[in-house]
Chain A
Amino acid sequence: MTGSGGKGRRDRAGRVVRPSVEREVDEEFGHHLEMRIRDLVAAGWTRDDAEREARRRFGDVDRLKADCRELGTRRDVEMNRRLWWDEVRQDLGYALRQLRRAPSFALVTVLTLAIAIGANVAVFSVVQGVVLAPLPYPEPDRLSVLWTRYLPPSGFDIEKFVLSGVEALDIREESETLSEVGIYYAGSRALTGDDASAERVRVGFYSADVLPALGVAPLLGRWFTEEETLPEGPDVTILSHGLWTDRFGADPDIVDRSILMNGVPTRVVGVMPRGFSFPSETRAWLPAGLDRSNQGGRASHGYLVVARRAPGVSQADLDAELAVIADRWAAEYEHNVAHFPWSQTLHTETVADAPRVLAVLMSAVGLVLLIACVNIANLLMARGERRHAEVAVRRTLGADRTRITRQLATESLVLAAVAALVGLALAAGSLRAIFALDPEALPRLDQVQMNGTVLAFTVGLTGLTAMLFGILPAYLAGRRSVTTLAGSAARSIGSRRSAGLRQLLVTSEVALSLVVVILAGLVVRSFDALTDTDPRMEPDDLLTFSITLPESAYPEVEEVPYEWSRMLDELRAIPGVTAVSASTNLPFQGTGQWDFQLDDRPPRADGETAWNAGISQVAPDYFETMGIPVLDGRALTREDVRDGPLVSVVSESMASRFWPGQRVIGKRFGYEIEEDSVAWMTIVGLVPDPVTRNLAAEPYPHVYVPHMQSGISTYFVPRTMQVALRMGTSAESVLPAVRSRMEAFDADLPLYEVRTMDEIVSVSLAGPRVTSNLLGAFALIALLLAAVGIYGVISYSVAGRTREIGVRVALGAEGREIARQILAEGARPVVLGVVLGLGAAWFASRLVETLLYGVEPTDPLTFTALPLLLVSVGVIASLLPALRATRVPPTEALRE
């Protein structure tokens, strides 16, 4: 009874062939019965009796058979699974051993892939946080924002203009596609009292519908009621979570407490949950005090609208309805012919430019990953040729082709997985570094995090990567093992084919990296053009901050201009300060626009929109302080007093648009103060156009008027101004003195938005800078990978031909001749790649067109210099192996 296993039939790989479960059970039961019968017969039973007895003892054969068949089938499934896992474990162990045995190969591969995967993960996590993550409101897809398009006769087309209050109220009443229409605007308030220092915070002024539209419930208390948001309503406020915790120590009894806002006791009615901040960075909310009674004309613009579309209503439905409303306005109100309300989703509004920027970045890192894959595929192919013998041995030992391919695929996966882990760490680190430098580069950057979506992306990308770089070498290895066994003649054909393949890989690598390099080149040149743009002032050594003189502390409007002058005199006395002035809006901060009339032209008729320009009310010495050159006439001075002749300095576009070819000094324009009363300003000076928001923005006509002359109407008197100090020393050393002087002036006046002008300029460049830096980095990586790839291929090809070269040297060939030939061989795929890459880049440059400033998408310099750069990289990468080849001593080469 000593059955040694393994006498059954075997397949080619040497495994025992099992009969089907059905036959197995039949045969096993048959054998059992046969044995029993034999024993019984031996004990003296007759054959018939023995058969009967054997069956009786065995039991219910049919039921047992059925049981065994089912169990057997399940057993086979189980065993196959176990076998599969065993093989995976084996493959994994084998793969790790292989990598340990070739540490430099493993290091190069893992590093290359880690950089490429890390870059992809980093960019994707930004895409995820900024674009893909839903807005933090219930059913965010139903939220829209409303704008109006504004076409003033000055020839500008302002796509995104705020609505007038009356228009917003019209839409709220008439719209059937919108279930809630929230109307709001932004402002600021000074907080005093509560034993805390005075501070100025951004506030939002809300109609009653804003919070219901957004659908966010307060953490404590309640929303504003409809009555509270009407004009002359009670002084009530809702606090942000941040303000509540920072200033009021998260006091749970804050609701119904009274706090001082601009010196006015204001009752807290609610606290919003953590993270709620709409519009962004708002710290508290006040009722908008809005109805038809207190709105100026239909042309008095100043309101933002956020609305929730009724269920099932699309963005297109809303736009169609707005078009109908606009048509009705055009028919009913002559004045509104230039107003075209339109809408977009809140998501589109919030992510702004980010999708376009991120699409470019994502494409670039995608290409970098492809280049990395080509490189690794190359390395694996070269390695695969060296592993000939190993594969052949394993095949003779019974491993079939799929098993070999699977083994190689496992190795690829292991490489990619290790690289992905390193890449994740790289991504997390680099992201934090980049955006810590430029937190304003993109909207919603605080949402960017390594979450489940990012991890899932990483896992998917890793698998895809392993397939991309692993599939070709694995396929070749499978084929090669056959040819190896067939004989060496077939092998040399095989390697000639793989040499061709490798050249193809170099070509594609060069083409891909040229696309990345050209895209990056365009964006970098655009950023250079942007930073080279004249800011039309001197931003260095300027400290700026904002101050508001609230009505509660400065009730006499007529006194306010004098208070500003007094304050500036105080600041002027600080040692180290060379000039001081103030403006209602400094450059790079956006600007309000006022309509005006021209005295040498008839007033605008009804149905024509008014002429307008940006306006700044400025204190004396403004141009000197800001470093703005006066091009003609004079600057505004202390002599331009309240009761003197009304004067103004205008910008170049103002002059060229309204008085082309004429000297503007002495020309007049006027602001309508009341019905039939126009305040005429005489132009006394000409300056360059200010930068309105950023250096790329088109210049817009601008006028400067003395703040002292704002008294012509109480409506004009500025209660908020931005102060600018030109310093001989650093901001840090001047700021304490500024604070103590301001404290002496009025301890309840908070300084806010304290920044140097350099910081303001820098923030305005944050987005383009990050894009340019990232693309530049990706281009460098692409270039480096291409260089490494070309070097690898040429080196490998030279190493394989040492013998041939040796023979030729021995036969008298000159080293220079050989080097030239190897160089030519390296150059061929590079040049082909450059040609293909140029074509691809020509089309790809459309992708970045909208991001470019001052550079054409087909910029000739970029399109000639960078291909040349790539060719030189190719030549240098082939040069090293070529030189090495010429130094091979023939004797050594021939011995090989």
Chain B
Amino acid sequence: MPRSERRLLHGTLDTLILKTLSHGALHGYAIARWIEERTGDAILVEEGSLYPALYRLEKRGLLESDWGLSELERRAKFYRLTERGEEALERDTAEWLRFSAAVTSILAPGR
């Protein structure tokens, strides 16, 4: 994968994860399913790449996690947005909308 594309995907994946968690705490598999259902495999080419993104977001203080019991009655790690995470989501969303509107107006004017 070319570097620029990967960086774009990183940023997009991070934002999508934040969006996913904006409704409540989820474990990794649930997050993967949520993204998969909405984007196919356009973003999440391999499911495992979700996890480094989660750890990175946790390190940046945008997410926090707790251990709980999943529907398998197994210990699972549940991720949750922090205050800073919510702010980041708002910021990223606004930025993305501005960016995509600009690109759209060039690529498909009139639409």
Contact = CB atoms under 8 A, between A and B. Distances in A.
A661 interface: no
Contacts of B78: 3-5
Contacts of B29: 31-32, 35-36
Given A1-B71, A5-B78, A75-B55, A57 B66 contact: no
Contacts of A82: 61
Given A3-B25, A58-B47, A68 B77 contact: no
Contact of A78 (B32, B59, B75): B59
A71 interface: yes
Nearest to B55: A71
B49 A31 contact: no
Contacts of B48: 29, 32, 58-61, 64
A38 interface: yes
Nearest to B49: A59
B88 to A, nearest CB: 16
Interface in A1-40: 1-8, 16, 18-19, 24-25, 27-29, 31-32, 34-36, 38
A157 interface: no
Contacts of A78: 59, 61
Contacts of A18: 67
Given A5-B80, A6-B66, A75-B58, A31 B52 contact: no
Interface in B36-95: 45-49, 51-52, 55-56, 58-59, 61, 65-72, 74-78, 80
B68 A68 contact: no
Interface bracket on A: 35 or more
Interface residues of B, number: 34
B24 interface: yes
A71 B47 contact: no
Interface in A79-110: 79, 82
A4 B25 CA distance: 8
B75 A27 contact: yes
Most buried by A among B28, B30, B51: B51
Q: In terms of DSSP, what is the predominant structure of the interface of chain B? A: mixed
A68 B55 contact: yes
A6 B80 CA distance: 12
Most buried by B among A24, A57, A79, A82: A57
A74 interface: yes
A890 interface: no
A57 B47 CA distance: 6
A16 B80 CA distance: 15
Contact of A34 (B26, B56, B66, B74): B74
B3 to A, nearest CB: 17
Contacts of B77: 24, 27-28, 31
A74 B60 CA distance: 10
A60 B51 CA distance: 12
Nearest to A69: B55
B17 to A, nearest CB: 14
A57 B30 CA distance: 15
B80 A31 contact: no
A61 B49 CA distance: 9
Given A5-B80, A60-B46, A67 B72 contact: no
B10 interface: no
B28 A5 contact: no
A64 B27 contact: no
